[in-house]
Amino acid sequence: MKKAETIFACQNCGHQSRKWLGKCPECGEWNSLVEERERALKKGSGRTGFKLREVAAIAYAEIESQDETRVSSGVTEFDRVLGGGIVPGTLVLIGGDPGIGKSTLMLQVADRLSVNSGAVLYISGEESERQIKLRGERLRIEAKNLFLLPETNLENIFQEVERLNPTAIIVDSIQTVFSAMIESAPGSVSQVREAAHQFLLLAKNRTIPIFLIGHITKDGSIAGPKSLEHIVDTVLYFEGERHHNHRIVRAVKNRFGAANEIGVFEMTGAGLVPVANPSQMFLQERPHNVAGSVVTACMEGTRPLLVEIQALVSETKYGTGRRMTQGVDQSRVALLMAMLEKRLGLQMLGDDVFVNIAGGLEVDEPAVDLGVVAAITSSFKNLPIDPHTTVFGEVGLTGEVRGTTQAVVRAREAQALGFKKIVMPGSNKAGLERLLGVTIVGVKSVEEALAELF
């Protein structure tokens, strides 16, 4: 038997050190290292649900392709974020702020799975069976084959898995699960990692999907999902705020699909409902003929999405103007503004400039540059942009408009939503001449684009 070891683990990022440090060298967090002891395991003991077996390398050519075997979760938008359904044997982490809808979504998925594919085990360390039942009644689920297990001890959980033999497992939440093999407190990095690791082995050994729910914590008192990202196959995060009705689930990492794919849901009185046409939803409350508003086409994973960019340029009450952004990168906006000042002579030094993506969406791609530039200029000049026009394109430091990826897909989405004119990079125009009922204007520079818009 190995001697028990003492290590110090950062509760924020999971960095481990032999001695205590005031500041974590990995993530820079202060006072986040906590002493943790690992109880030595008897060699070869193995855990329940996971038996040691003989190992042998497998010839590549003999491995069956897995893509055909995806199972539908029964919730369209959830399938989409996962890359087209659930891959058996995957470990999926679902993170998000408390109260955003993680348990709601997973109970809905559990219900559909239990009806379609067999017994589903919902392990809940946070809520009692009755609380879950109450939520289920609200969601009006059938849950024919759904089993609830209010348990937090990993070894007990594995025993029940062995007995029930479920086709899918949901763990709500991973932070409440602890292993008796480890001495650290439940919720500490060692515990959470160990539990996740055991679930990974379980998922692979039984070829069933396992979903781990994890809370995002800022203070680092409980180990956050960040420390699990590299263990799991897929990481999904709930985005946006609770104040909006819609919820966005984004695949931050996916070993079996496109990263950055999003699923859009609406939170209703009866749970999360997939939104079939997100572009339409994001443009719903758009004001027409108001300065400072423009629609741009961005890509979220493999899906095009039309969103409204809003800008407000107003004289500052303080010495120098503030620059505030929501949903777009602040330094990117600062750079575009510097370009506007230098190339087009827009003097905004004495102005506060606010840029916002309507609907609480976050966009992170250079193709929105032209939209940001157009919105700021529109507000600065107090000239509205035609509501049936959309723009997209990357903008360089000299004011040139560069081509973007997936221009055809973006243009088609704009056409589908009834836009009449698209101002886009000239280099992307090829292949887009015949878009019915839409005028395509290819531009090479910001000057050209703005001349077209105003």
11, 73, 103, 191: which one contacts ligand TYD (CB under 6 A)? 103
Shortest Cβ 104–Mg ion spacing (Å): 8
Q: Which range binds ligand TYD by CB under 6 A, 15-23, 94-102, 402-410, 411-419?
A: 94-102
Shortest Cβ 10–ligand TYD spacing (Å): 25
14, 83, 89, 96: which one contacts ligand TYD (CB under 6 A)? 96
Of the pair 132, 353, the CB lying nearest Mg ion is at: 132
Of the pair 210, 291, the CB lying nearest Mg ion is at: 210
Of the pair 134, 349, the CB lying nearest ligand TYD is at: 134
CA separation for the pair 263, 275 (Å, rounded): 8
Residue 181: which of 199, 149, 159, 154 has the closest Cα?
Answer: 154
With a CB cutoff of 8 Å and minimum separation 6, the contacts of 248 are 238, 239, 240, 262, 263, 264, 265, 361
Q: Where are the beta strands (DSSP E) in 320-413?
A: 323-326, 351-357, 389-391, 394-395, 401-402
Q: Does 28 bind ligand TYD (CB under 6 A)?
A: no
Of the pair 131, 427, the CB lying nearest ligand TYD is at: 131
Residues 51-90, one symbol each (x = binds ligand TYD by CB under 6 A, - = not), give: ----------------------------------------
Q: Which range binds ligand TYD by CB under 6 A, 116-124, 132-140, 175-183, 354-362?
A: 132-140
Q: Does 133 bind ligand TYD (CB under 6 A)?
A: no
Choose the contact partner of 281 out of Mg ion, ligand TYD, none; CB within 5 to 8 A by kind. Answer: none
CA separation for the pair 359, 293 (Å, rounded): 13
28, 46, 99, 431: which one contacts ligand TYD (CB under 6 A)? 99
Side-chain-side CA neighbours of 353 within 13 Å: the count stands at 27
Of the pair 181, 267, the CB lying nearest ligand TYD is at: 267
Cα angle 306, 309, 314 (rounded to 5 degrees) comes to: 170
Choose the contact partner of 269 out of Mg ion, ligand TYD, none; CB within 5 to 8 A by kind. Answer: ligand TYD
Residue 175: which of 154, 159, 202 has the closest Cα?
Answer: 154
The two structure tokens encoding residue 451: 């001349």
Distance set, CA 326 to CA 31, 354, 362, 392, 425 (Å): 31, 8, 8, 18, 25
User: Quick one: which H or E segment has residue 76?
Assistant: helix 76-81
The two structure tokens encoding residue 419: 């836009």
Residues that bind Mg ion (CB under 5 A): 103
Q: Which amino acid is at 315?
A: E
Residues 349-388, one symbol each (x = binds ligand TYD by CB under 6 A, - = not), give: ----------------------------------------
Of the pair 49, 225, the CB lying nearest Mg ion is at: 225
Q: Does 46 bind ligand TYD (CB under 6 A)?
A: no
100, 161, 262, 368: which one contacts ligand TYD (CB under 6 A)? 100
CA separation for the pair 450, 84 (Å, rounded): 40
Choose the contact partner of 431 out of ligand TYD, Mg ion, none; CB within 5 to 8 A by kind. Answer: none
Distance set, CA 430 to CA 404, 427, 441 (Å): 13, 7, 11
Choose the contact partner of 267 out of Mg ion, ligand TYD, none; CB within 5 to 8 A by kind. Answer: ligand TYD
Of the pair 237, 392, the CB lying nearest ligand TYD is at: 237
282-286 long-range Cβ contacts below 8 angstroms, 24+ apart: 282/306, 282/307, 282/308, 282/358, 282/359, 282/361, 283/307, 283/308, 283/417, 285/358, 286/358, 286/387
Q: Are 227 and 13 in contact (CB under 8 A)?
A: yes
CA separation for the pair 173, 46 (Å, rounded): 24
Q: Which amino acid is at 35?
A: E
Of the pair 124, 254, the CB lying nearest ligand TYD is at: 124
The two structure tokens encoding residue 174: 């991973």
Shortest Cβ 216–ligand TYD spacing (Å): 10
Of the pair 23, 138, the CB lying nearest ligand TYD is at: 138
Shortest Cβ 270–ligand TYD spacing (Å): 5
Kindly list the residues in this chain that would bind ligand TYD in the complex (CB under 6 A): 96, 98-104, 135, 138-139, 267, 269-271
